[in-house]
Amino acid sequence: MDNALNALPFIKMHGLGNDFVILDLRGGLAAPTPALARAIADRRRGIGFDQLITIEDEKHPQLAAYMGIFNPDGSRSGACGNATRCVAHLLMTESGSDSLTLRTDFGPLACWQAEDGMVRVNMGRPKLDWEDIPLAEASDTVRIDVKLGPIDNPSLWGPGAVNMGNPHAVFFVEDAEAVPVDKLGPMIENHPMFPERTNVEFCHIIDRNRIRMRVWERGAGITQACGSGACAAVVAGVRRDLIDRACVVELDGGPLLIEWGERDNVYMTGPVATSFHGEIGPDILAQAAPDTAA
């Protein structure tokens, strides 16, 4: 990011309370450094976000734009379902189209306008091999060998592991509301089994077509919603025959419809909302100097 800029426009959007600062960098503006991402993420001295999203130029004629994703700690993420809906909505409104494809670090994601202002995204095929999660050692990803608590009486054990552009550990519990997500989330995120850390989902089954999920996001903490996490939860649940392949996931911020459909692609449908527009000022932009943070 050129720290000689005096101001940088942004849009604040959210999907079910999962909130984003979106920077339109088309036209050749450089992507933010990890230091700038952390400065913008500060909810007291910056703006605050669950993820910082960049819209960048894309040379491929069949792709609308490249979407970059930063976590509040300055690290990068390969996918963010709720943000994908927000960016797709912006660009479809701009172009007047009802569909487009975005490039992400996870690959191209096709998006469509859906009913009632919703946006539908093909989140791609889940990666299920242990090396693709990635895990530190070979394991059956339907139920991996991760435990918290005493070996003979663990409080949590055996999550499903799914990569939906980022790694997820999905625990099925009796009552997701009773889980101390703020305490257990960071322990699992940084568990030795996950060399690149992991997102963590705590789910309980309501019925074959509905689950309740709470989430701890890698590099972000507790968030109101996580689109890729909802996709991972449905994949993990189907693999254990706990739910059907079309399922509503009830998150803190509201419901997402997830369908593990044709050719193993996972489809997500949900709302988007714009909170406000603003400009990032020079005091924050001055923190854009390159650094070595992950």
pLDDT in tens, 215-268: 999 999 999 999 999 999 999 999 999 999 999 999 999 999 999 997 899 999
| pLDDT value at residue 290 | 54
**Domain 8-123+273-285 matches domain 130-264 at the CATH topology level:** yes
Amino acid of residue 165: G
CA separation for the pair 158, 148 (Å, rounded): 10
Pick the CATH number of 8-123+273-285 from 3.10.310.10, 3.40.50.2300, 3.20.20.60, 3.40.50.300: 3.10.310.10
Is residue 293 pLDDT above 50, yes or no?
Answer: no
pLDDT of residue 134: 98
Q: What is the predicted pLDDT for the residue at 283?
A: 86
130-264 classified as CATH 3.10.310.10: yes
Return the pLDDT at 155: 81
**Is residue 14 pLDDT above 50, yes or no?**
yes
Q: Which amino acid is at 104?
A: T
Residue boundaries of the structural domains of the chain: 8-123+273-285, 130-264
> Which range has the worst mean pLDDT, 64-68, 112-116, 207-211, 284-288?
284-288
pTM, two decimals, is 0.91
Closest C-alpha among 196, 150, 207, 209 to residue 169:
196
Model confidence over 30-75: pLDDT tens digits? Answer: 899 999 999 999 999 999 999 999 999 999 999 999 999 999 999 9
What pLDDT is attached to residue 4? 56
Read off the pLDDT band of 6 (50, 70, 90): confident
pLDDT tens profile 143-158 = 999 988 777 777 889 9
Query: Which residues fall within 8 angstroms of residue 209, CB to CB, at 6 or more apart?
Result: 243, 244, 246, 247, 248
pLDDT top residue among 89 and 147: 89
Active site residues: 80, 226
**Mean pLDDT for the stretch of residues 194-205:** 97
What's phi and psi for 232, nearest 5 deg?
-60, -40
pLDDT at residue 287 in the model: 75
Q: Is it the case that residue 294 has pLDDT exceeding 50?
A: no
Instruction: Give 206-246 as a 3 state SS string.
Output: EECCEEEEEEEECCCEEECCCHHHHHHHHHHHHHCCCCCCE
pLDDT of residue 3: 45
Query: Which range (60-69, 88-97, 150-159, 274-283) has the least confidence?
Result: 150-159
Identify whether the C-beta of residue 126 lies closer than 8 Å to the C-beta of residue 261.
no
Q: How confident is the model at residue 164 (pLDDT cuts 50, 70, 90)?
A: very high
Mean pLDDT of the chain: 94
What is the band of 286 on the pLDDT scale with cuts at 50, 70, 90?
confident
Q: Return the pLDDT at 152.
A: 72
Tell me, rounded to whole angstroms, the distance of Cα 116 from its chain centroid. Answer: 23
Tell me the percentage of the chain whose pLDDT exceeds 70.
96
